[in-house]
Amino acid sequence: MKNGARFAFHDLAPGEESFRDAVLAGLERAPKRIPCKFFYDARGSALFEEICRLPEYYPTRTEVVILEENSMGPHCRVIEFGSGASQKIRILLQALERPAAYVPVDISREHLRDAAIGLAEDFPSVPVVAVCADYTRPFPLPPLPGAGGKRVGFFPGSTIGNFEPDAAVAFLANYAHILGPKGEMLIGVDLKKETDILEAAYNDRAGVTAAFNLNLLERVNRELDGDLDIDRFEHLAFYSSAEGRVEIYIRSLAHQTAQIAGRRFRFAKDELVHTEYSYKYSVDEFRVLAARAGFRPVDTWTDPGELFSVHYFRLR
């Protein structure tokens, strides 16, 4: 660690659902499913970074410009759930006036530690307080530096779109509880728009999103001693305007069976394995949803093309 960087690590020893348990349970269900949180092994994370650079995938670059151009005033103590590689926080910390603390919260201990140390080194004037915890449930925030500064949750990337609406409200309500009275929230939300633009973003011409989705099956083969024939599955993504979401599946191209962790699974021809929802919201729809968790709008910023939104909320 370089001189000057301030860094603390709090380990609340969260229990983590194993990939094995999730896959075995998810493939017993009808319809079959594998939760999207398992996309992000080393290979999946690299593919996601590639997705973020695709011409069709507008959310990342659009959100970055919105974050660069807007601010929330001085002395913020920024609390990020699911901080991962902590990339977007760099943009935010650069845009903020004298941020008082950065508090990354993640369940994945080693990634959290590496990312938080890297950040503390690159932003020596910002104290970093990393918390290893399961942020889908209540947990106690440690005492934070910069007393008097406001607590601001940061949840970028439209990750909120992965939750079904009631679960999104529950997630935001838990965030609100942890932020405490007068807490604030900065949250990136992908906007509703023409089906063609949405479907192109999840069916890129280079096939990176397909590889990202199918990597779940490769991961099963690698980690769970599976013998899935990846060539007999394909990526499927489409926008349902009735549900307001992109739906992502893996489709079995043939009737087939596979061994996974010593168990046998059967896939019918054309059977779907659900892997992800990505909900899209108009500005007003998302404000209504956030209000159910106690958040009042302060401001909402969008790009000129109205592709993506960043909402700034305060708790009542």
Note the residues at the interface with ligand AVJ (CB under 6 A). Answer: 51, 59, 157-159, 161-162, 202, 209, 276, 278
Instruction: Compute the least distance from the CB of residue 190 to ligand AVJ, in Å.
Output: 7
Point out which residues pair with 101 in neighbouring strands: 77
Say how far apart CA 314 and CA 316 lie, in whole Å: 6
**Residue closest to ligand AVJ when measured from CB atoms:** 278
Q: Give the total residue count for the chain.
A: 316
Instruction: Compute the least distance from the CB of residue 103 to ligand AVJ, in Å.
Output: 21
Of 134 and 247, which CB lies nearer to ligand AVJ in the complex structure? 247
If residue 189 lies in a helix (H) or strand (E), which one and from where to where?
strand 184-190
Instruction: Compute the least distance from the CB of residue 57 to ligand AVJ, in Å.
Output: 7
Of 157 and 226, which CB lies nearer to ligand AVJ in the complex structure? 157
Of 27 and 189, which CB lies nearer to ligand AVJ in the complex structure? 189
Distances (CA, A) of 251 to 38, 59, 269: 18, 26, 8
Instruction: Compute the least distance from the CB of residue 1 to ligand AVJ, in Å.
Output: 30
164 by DSSP, 3-state: which? coil
Instruction: Compute the least distance from the CB of residue 31 to ligand AVJ, in Å.
Output: 19
For 97, phi then psi, to 5°, come to -90, 120
With 0-12 / 13-18 / 19 or more C-beta atoms within 10 angstroms meaning exposed / middle / buried, residue 233 is buried
Name which of 155, 96, 100 is nearest 286 in CA terms.
155
Of 123 and 281, which CB lies nearer to ligand AVJ in the complex structure? 281
Point out which residues pair with 97 in neighbouring strands: 74
187 by DSSP, 3-state: which? strand
DSSP codes joined into one string, 223-254: HTT----GGGEEEEEEEETTTTEEEEEEEESS
Instruction: Compute the least distance from the CB of residue 277 to ligand AVJ, in Å.
Output: 8
CB 256 within 8 A of CB 267: yes
Instruction: Compute the least distance from the CB of residue 50 to ligand AVJ, in Å.
Output: 10
Of 50 and 121, which CB lies nearer to ligand AVJ in the complex structure? 50
Of 101 and 185, which CB lies nearer to ligand AVJ in the complex structure? 185
Of 120 and 217, which CB lies nearer to ligand AVJ in the complex structure? 217
Tokens of 184: 């604030």
DSSP state of 180: -
Instruction: Compute the least distance from the CB of residue 42 to ligand AVJ, in Å.
Output: 16
Of 265 and 279, which CB lies nearer to ligand AVJ in the complex structure? 279
